[in-house]
Amino acid sequence: MPKLNRPKDAKNLVEKEITHTPQVEVSGNGDGYRVTITVGKIKHGMEPNHFIEYIELYDDETFVARADIGPSTLPVASFWLKAMPEKPVAHARCTTHGEWSNA
């Protein structure tokens, strides 16, 4: 299994953590819950030879959803859920710097 990178201190991101740590935002509209995941506190670049190739959402360790993306997109994915996740955890994979999680 590939190494999963996690921020050492989520409140004080440093170096590659700043552009690779997924940021999770949850909102609701009465019909469901929207979870938006943006890769990077400063968005990761999306260049042809270096980009985010997928974004996944877990509820703690249970898989919920995945978006495969490419260099013509922003490093962002939104998922509409029927129920609020208890512990939303995001993973994102960079083609150059590996897999990253917010938790």
* Interface with Fe ion (CB under 5 A): 94, 96-97
Nearest CA to 25 out of 13, 16, 38, 14 is that of 38
C-beta closer to Fe ion: residue 53 or 59: 53
C-beta closer to Fe ion: residue 57 or 94: 94
- Minimum gap (Å) between residue 7 Cβ and Fe ion: 14
- Minimum gap (Å) between residue 34 Cβ and Fe ion: 26
- Minimum gap (Å) between residue 49 Cβ and Fe ion: 11
Query: Do residues 65 and 51 make contact, with C-beta atoms less than 8 angstroms apart?
Result: no
Burial of residue 1 (number of CB atoms within 10 Å: 0-12, 13-18, 19+): exposed
C-beta closer to Fe ion: residue 27 or 96: 96
